[in-house]
Amino acid sequence: MKDFLSLLKLLKPYRLGIVIALLFSFLTVVSNVGLMAVSAVLISWAALHPPILDLMTTIVAVRFFGISRAVFRYLERYFSHDVTFKILKTLRIDFYSKLEPLAPACLKAYRSGDLLARLVGEVEALKDFYLRVLAPPLTAFLVLIGVFIFLSDFDLKFALVFLVFYFLTGIIIPLTLKRLSRGLKEEMLEVKADLNARLVDSIQGMTEITVYGQAENQLRLVAGLGGKLARLQGKMAGFSGLTQAGSQIAMNLAGWCVLVLAIPMVASGRLEGIFLAMLPLCVGTSFEAVASLPLVFSYWEESRTAWKRLREVTEAPNYLFSQAHEPQSQARTLTQHLSLTQTLGQSQPQTQTPVPVQIPTPNSSTAKIPTLTPEPNPNPNKTGTQEKVISVPELTGQYSLEIKDLWFRYSPEEPWIFRGVSFNILQGEKVALTGPSGAGKSTLVNLLLRFYEYEIGTIKLGGKELKSYRPEDIRQVFGVVSQTTHLFNTTIRENLLLAKPSATEQEMWEAAKKAKIHDFIQSLPQGYDTYIGEGGYKLSGGQRQRVAIARALLKNAPILVLDEATANLDALAEREVLESLLELFQARTVLVIAHRRAPVKKMDKVIDLPSVQYE
Amino acid sequence: MLDKRLLQEARRTRCFLWLTIILGLFSACFIVLQAGLLARIINRVFLEGQGLAEVKIMLGLLLAVFLGRAVVTWLSEVFSHKTAAGIKEDLRQRLLSHLFTLGPNKIKDESTGELVNSLVEGVETLEAYFARYLPQLALAALVPLFILGFVFPLDLLSGGIMLLTAPLIPLFMILIGKWADSLSRKQWQSLSRMSAHFLDVLQGITTLKLFGRSRAQLEVIARVSDRFRETTLGVLRVAFLSALALELLSTLSTALVAVGLGLRLVYGRILFEEAIFILLLAPEFYLPLRLLGTQFHAGMAGVSAAERIYAILESDNKQETNREQEINEEEKINKVKRTKKETKIEQDTDKIQATDNKQDTNKEKHYIKRELSQEQFKELKVMENGLSGLRLKCAENSFLLMENVYYAYDRRQGEVLKGVSFKFSVGERVALVGESGAGKSTVAGLLMGFIKPDLGKIVCSSQGALLCLDSPHPNNEGQGEQWSSGSVLTKWRENIALVPQHAHLFSGTVADNILLGRTDASREEVVAAAKLAGAHDFISRLAQGYDTPVGEGGTNLSGGQVQRLALARAFLKEAPFLILDEATSGLEEAGEARIQEALEYLRPARGVLIIAHRLALAAQADRILVLSEGRIVEEGKHEELLQRRGVYYRLVKAYGGAA
């Protein structure tokens, strides 16, 4: 019910369109009922050989209904589909705008294929919420009222019989069968998801499948799942066939009962004979409105699961973000943690001797140790907007980085990644950050960019706590090139201009030249307007990285972070690019992240991540 | 709206289709019976003044007819679904297996989103085509004809109206349908493109945020959605028009029939019972046609989806032209310039082919240390560095050879490889280096048989068998078939393991992913392979160890960790050759040193080709091949090449003299 209401809320802006579509939908059914009913009356009346003029009004009515039905149907369809696609747009924007602030943290668990299924599939499924879930019952209800009033004008018994069978067809039969097939449906969804994942695997892992001769095996697995799905779908078809057959019988029975009730009335003269043919026809045709009701339940199920899954992504309780979003709890944990680490920091000041340290947890008893330092700002969220924020980055600013006693882990269940990391980077320094894979080099970048919130310790940018800035402003300060930097499936130009939409052709070329990619781009038949394919697949690994570097250069940020950025380049190019970058960025800070030492020779400082923390 | 290829699919399940048609006829019978009974009852009561008692038998019969109709409805639903399910399954299998034969290098052009969409949604769309549209088509053809057979004898005029209007309905459908068809195609494309766009945006959301452009993306999404709405509404406006015409035709003619009947009744030219019978039949006459109209869209969507599916199914490996000649002419010019070494290798291959027949040349021994017929397998169970249990089966005399290979992805963009020749054997560790774009990965693709050489030969001699991947000859049908049938390729690939730069993890456990290398390996061997690749430590730290689910929806592993798993997978495979295509670029120094150790351990059983722009691994190779501008320009040991002061020297110097 809550899901239903929250979905309804999304439809609110389109109220008018919905009312119009509903009205036409009601009129469509009524036209058909009218056509058959009036025709039956006309023929019955004519059988009594009245003067032709008496029939004129009826004849006109028959012709009117003959035309109106088609016109109303067309209008109804047009308006309801228009509403549907507007809903689709709203849904997409709604989802994206909720997702965007949480990314990339909330997407940690999702991979591309799954996301595709989620976003496109679920949103697609939801677009039918009005057309298939909301509209049919509302139309059916309007028709019910109309026909009920009409029939009760003849005799209440007709109206009641109609009511009973109408409910039977529209609600009771489909609900019963739906209940019977519930387990089946769930199983089907599971198998479908499995099959989907398999197919995504098959395509994305094609190299491995081919190399290891697994094609046969993969085909067999897909066939197995496909066969299972087909069996389930077959059973489902059996149920839906039963629903259809049941509804059909109920509809026919309704007409039959009305006929049986009417026959004695005609015989006894309580009902005029010319209405005898009309009554069952009128009842039978009005069932058109409930014909699509059986599907409503399954469509609603679909919509609801889709809606739930979308919300699962955007409303997932996120450990890191729950802190950021709940100032109260954060304040508490922060002070606790701070007191604790400060204490640790104090008790082992700069000593290199490895003292066995208990892994502190938020609940550990050591938290009771009184703080020796003044309370830090416990509520950065509140102050975030008030404090001075960094606006458009200019080199006049002070962008030194100071990291102290940084503790971080992705969730309380996972092990700590940083156990009290401390180091400083002065403005303009060229620093190499090294460490084995898994040491948290990329995590550190994510923390600097505030994609994740750190729990304990401080990161200061320009002397101020990182958390006091708005995340957007912080990201303006960093130019980041990482191995996972994404290139969009569009032209090279658009990919570059992402960094600075207002850049001139000249600026763009400059950046590309510095990244040593300009000549290559110019050699392409379409130059900067070349489409580069999904994820830049039409470029080689090295070319992709150069484009990414050019993009970062175009951004012209005060701090440049190269997160394994040149790993895909050959040695010659890597050296060239790095040297020219270091030269170009003389006044700026450059942080080169690498697990190798080779490319980072001319550095002011080398920070080995594992050795700058307690353990 | 009948796609020939789709109908051919339907033939596979022909008996189901026949059943659907027979059931359609049954339902037509019941419809006529029902109308007849109703008309008679109404006539008796209304005009002849009979009561309930007199018509109760007919009322009972009516109930029986209802039941009959319901049974028919149920059965036809079940059968049509069976038909569809079989066809869908078959198509999905064919699609996938075709994609597998196309291989990884070919599908790089396609976006994964679109391919998955075709495979999942596209195939599902066919359900509607086979389960709804086709049976409805059968009904639309049968039921009206059947009804007409009853109406004509009773009333020529009504029959005439029906007969005239009925053919108009399919006519309208075809006329408008053709028009809407192209629009429908557009819609399918735009849906596909939209899903690809969304995937793209979501994959890049971090990048967008970095550039402060993620908010602006909302506008793009709105724009794309609006465009989608416009195109789709454009399609529907037309598709609905056909529905309007159909609806109008049927209701208007029902009205005409009714009015005509009424007027003739007044003058006593027709009986009431007959008139009401015809009136009852009129909507039933048009109903199947109208329902066909509502399924029309499903039909079109099915055909559009089929279009995409068949486009994939019919896509060929590579368009053949008279490439052969082109190259041959170039060849003549190049021949003069060729180095001695290349010629030598050519001779070498000739010799090898000769040995297939007679085994007595002594020159070849210079290249092939042992005779090919003498299969020498070594089963080593080594306990070394704590690595135990990994079975090392090796054929010492195996080699892999590439001779004068040319390759171009797209001829307009020029050749990537221009006559590459080299050879390496089991026990050797060879490095292939060169600047990015020199064609290193293309060599790997060729060696794996993902792509065919435009010209030249690739030969693999393993365990006494000689395999050859030739350039395709346009006039030689047989060889083309060999390529696609893949029997040679399957054997070929059994001999080579490849670790690509970006390895894929499949949904399944860590162990499953390593087992991909050799599915019948024991757990001990899996662990040994993981230890060898330096993956054991982090795997043991995972919550469920080797049984931790990874891949889609599983635990996230770092790039380096994925790469280690891929290496373990390759180590497990008992192939005499191992190609590392930039496989260690995600690893740190210590990890790379570990791999060096592992390769040393594997040396007696494997010939290793290391493709790298990182020179640390290359420097320790037995032999280094330097690829530049599509040719091997230098070859030799690290020190030799350094002394030569050529391309390699420059590469190393740029690297900072690290090695």
Angle at B429 between CA B423 and CA B434, to 5 degrees: 75
Calculate mean pLDDT across residues B479-483. Answer: 42
Cα A42 to chain centroid, rounded: 57
- Binning pLDDT at 50, 70 and 90, where does residue A376 land? very low
pLDDT digits 0-9 by tens, B622-656: 899 988 888 888 888 888 888 888 888 887 776 55
Q: In this model, does residue B217 exceed pLDDT 70? A: yes
**In the predicted model, what is the mean pLDDT of residues B189-217?**
72
- Judge whether A57 is closer than 8 Å to chain B, CB to CB: no
Give the Cα separation of B10 and B129 in Å (integer): 10
Mutant choice from A41, A114, A116 vs B, greatest count of B C-beta within 10 A: A116
Looking at residue A303, its pLDDT comes to 86
Name the residue of chain B whose CA is nearest to A448's CA.
B210
Does residue B429 come out as left (phi exceeding 0), alpha (psi in the -120 to 50 range) or beta? beta
pLDDT class of B338 with cuts at 50, 70, 90: very low
Confidence band of A371 (pLDDT split at 50, 70, 90): very low
Q: Inter-chain contact B656–A40, Cβ cutoff 8 Å?
A: no
User: What is the predicted pLDDT for the residue at A600?
Assistant: 54
- CB spacing of A62 vs B96 below 8 angstroms: no
Is the pLDDT higher at B196 or at B602?
B602
pLDDT tier, A599 (very low <50, low <70, confident <90, very high otherwise): low
Which band of pLDDT confidence, cut at 50, 70 and 90, is reported for residue B486?
low
Rg (CA), chain B: 36
Whole-number mean pLDDT of chain A?
78
pLDDT band at A66 (very low <50, low <70, confident <90, very high): very high
Residue bearing the bigger pLDDT, A598 or B117: B117
Greater confidence (B72 vs A292) lies with B72
pLDDT at res. B35: 95
Confidence (pLDDT) at B618: 79
Element (DSSP H or E) covering residue A388 = none
B222–A93 C-beta distance less than 8 A:
yes
Nearest Cβ partner of A43 from B59, B261, B435? B261
Q: Residues B268-299, buried b or exposed e (16+ Cβ, 10 A)?
A: eebbbbbbbbbbbbbbbbbbbbbebbebbbbb
Local confidence band at A257 (pLDDT 50, 70, 90 cut-offs): very high
Lowest mean pLDDT among A121-125, A216-220, B326-330: B326-330
Residue B315 DSSP class:
-
Q: Given this model, what pLDDT does residue A455 score?
A: 74
pLDDT band at A47 (very low <50, low <70, confident <90, very high): very high
B71: chain A residues, CB-CB within 8 Å: 245
Distances (CA, A) of B291 to A494, B70, B230, B238: 47, 18, 26, 17
| Local confidence band at B187 (pLDDT 50, 70, 90 cut-offs) | low
Q: Which of B199, B232, B266 sits opposite A85 (nearest CB)?
A: B232
pLDDT at B276 > cutoff 90: yes
Residue the block writes with tokens 């080689």: A540
Residues 607-636 of B with CB under 8 A from A: 613-616
Nearest to A210 among B103, B229, B505 (CB): B103
pLDDT at residue B563, as a whole number: 86
Helix (H, G, I), strand (E, B) or coil at B465: strand
A197 has pLDDT over 60: yes
Q: What is the DSSP string of A226-240?
A: HHHHHHHHHHHHHHH
Q: Over the stretch A272-317, which tens digit does the pLDDT of each residue have?
A: 999 999 999 999 999 999 988 877 887 888 888 888 878 877 776 5
In three-state secondary structure terms, B582 is: coil
DSSP annotation of A467 reads G
Task: Provide the sign of the torsion angle of the four alpha carbons A278, A283, A287, A289, taken in this order.
Answer: positive
DSSP classification of residue A375: P
For residue B358, the model assigns a pLDDT of 42
Residue A42 has pLDDT above 90, yes or no: yes
Tell me the average pLDDT of chain B. 76
Sheet with A456-461, strands from edge to edge, namely A418-425, A401-408, A456-461, A464-465
Task: Check B209 against A451: CB less than 8 A apart.
Answer: yes
Give the containing element (helix H, strand E) for B416: none
pLDDT given at position A560: 87
Count CB-CB contacts under 10 A for residue B59.
16
- B228 contact A CB<8A: yes
Cβ atoms B375, B429 nearer than 8 A: no
Instruction: Inform me whether the C-beta atom of residue A531 falls under 8 Å from chain B C-beta atoms.
Output: no
Asked if pLDDT for residue B489 goes beyond 70, the answer is yes
Sign of the CA dihedral with A579 first, then A580, A581, and A586 last: positive
Task: Mark yes or no for CB contact A598/B616 under 8 Å.
Answer: yes
- How far apart, in Å, do the first and last CA atoms of chain A sit? 52
pLDDT band at B106 (very low <50, low <70, confident <90, very high): low
Judge whether residue B580 has pLDDT over 60: yes
Residue B71 contacts A where some CB pair is shorter than 8 Å: yes
Task: Specify the pLDDT at position A149.
Answer: 96
Mean pLDDT, rounded, for A163-173: 92
Task: Output the pLDDT for position A158.
Answer: 95
CB B261, CB B270: distance < 8 Å: yes
Contacts of B237 in chain A (CB under 8 A): 78
A-chain CB neighbours of B496 within 8 Å are 211
**Range of weakest confidence among A223-232, A312-321, A397-406:** A312-321
Among residues of chain A, what percentage have pLDDT more than 70?
Answer: 79
- The pLDDT value given to residue B220: 81
Contact call for residues B583 and B500 (beta carbons, < 8 A): yes
pLDDT digits (tens, 9 = 90+) for B369-386: 333 333 333 333 333 333
Res B325: pLDDT: 47
Taking alpha carbons only, the member of A109, A107, A112, A108 closest to residue A201 is A112
pLDDT of residue B353: 47
* Of residues A346 and A58, more confidently modeled: A58
* Residue of A219, A209, A211 lying closest to B492 (CA atoms): A211
Q: Quick check: A253 contacting B, CB < 8 Å? A: yes
Burial class from Cβ neighbours inside 10 Å (0-12, 13-18, 19+) for residue A211 reads buried
Helix (H, G, I), strand (E, B) or coil at B99: helix
Chain centroid to CA A593:
32
Cα separation, A59 vs B256, in Å, equals 9
pLDDT-based confidence at B152, cuts 50/70/90? very high
Mean of the pLDDT values across residues B476-492? 56
Report the amino acid identity of residue B144.
Answer: P
d(CA B587, CA B489): 31
Least confident of A110-124, B44-58, B560-574: A110-124
Are the C-beta atoms of B447 and B400 separated by less than 8 Å?
A: yes
B344 pLDDT more than 70: no
Portion 182-211 of A in contact with B at CB < 8 A:
195-211
User: How far A426 CA lies from chain B's nearest CA (Å)?
Assistant: 22
- Nearest C-alpha of chain A: how many angstroms from B439? 10
Model pLDDT, residue B150: 94
What pLDDT is stored for residue B316 in this prediction? 63
Q: What is the 3-state secondary structure (H, E, C) of A506-570?
A: HHHHHHHHHCCCHHHHHHCCCHHHCECCHHHCCCCHHHHHHHHHHHHHHHCCCEEEEECCCCCCC
B90 close contact with A: CB closer than 8 A: no
